Amino acid sequence: MIRKIVKIDREKCNGCGACASACHEGAIGMVGGKAVLLRDDYCDGLGACLPSCPTGAISFEEREAAAFDESAVKANLERARSHISPPCGCPGTHARRIGRAEHAQSESQPSSLRQWPVQIKLVPARAAYLDGADLLVAADCTAYAYGAFHRDFIEGRTVLVGCPKLDACDYAEKLAAVLAENDIKSLTVVRMEVPCCGGIESAALRALAASGKTIPHRVVIVTVDGRIKD
């Protein structure tokens, strides 16, 4: 059938992943660092992704395309949720607190991490360590670029990390659940200065709006040479 569907200009795409996060049907994913339309029948043609694109890489076109299939979309999203929370009960994803006091004297530079897991996709929305937490949402690369990351950002906070360019999922849904279902005291977002990292900031701020709560928040940008950007 001929219908309206999104079109992505690969040359204009900067790989930020904001469109993939904005697409609630899972029609857009990141492949090779660029946004792509994964399946025609996942795209409803409404264009929720258009305003999220900072480079104007997304537009509409009318062409031969499979009809929008809501049941296929639901099945795909269900599979994605199953991947986020593995039904096998893998012990590596078990939510737990980490005690450091017993190791502190033997470590020259002890870790400030106090919980596990840390990946946004793996953290349960109702983990015990989230209630009453000062929440840190950080892009993966920030801990490598900024040498004092543990001291300045992890200390005293519960940590969630991710990369919007590499993870083909919408962090906003999980983060909104975390913010809505727990007594979060504050939200700090730390991202890199590169454009693709804007996706994690966008997801966090959209999640905050969706939670319906007023939570003190700030965004910190780290430069690629390891400085805090003014």
Per-residue pLDDT of the chain (230 residues; tens, 9 = 90+): 999 999 999 999 988 878 887 888 889 988 877 889 999 999 999 888 888 888 899 999 999 999 999 998 888 777 665 444 444 445 555 566 666 554 454 456 788 998 988 999 888 888 888 989 999 999 999 999 999 999 999 999 999 999 988 887 788 989 999 999 999 999 999 999 998 899 999 999 999 999 999 999 999 999 999 999 98
State pLDDT tens for residues 111-166. 899 898 899 988 888 888 898 999 999 999 999 999 999 999 999 999 999 998 88
Its pTM stands at 0.60
Q: Give φ, ψ of 157 to 5 degrees.
A: -125, 155
Q: What residues contact 41, with CB distance under 8 A and at least 6 apart? A: 65, 66, 67, 68, 69, 72, 73
**Residue 45 backbone zone (phi > 0: left; psi -120 to 50: alpha; other: beta):** left
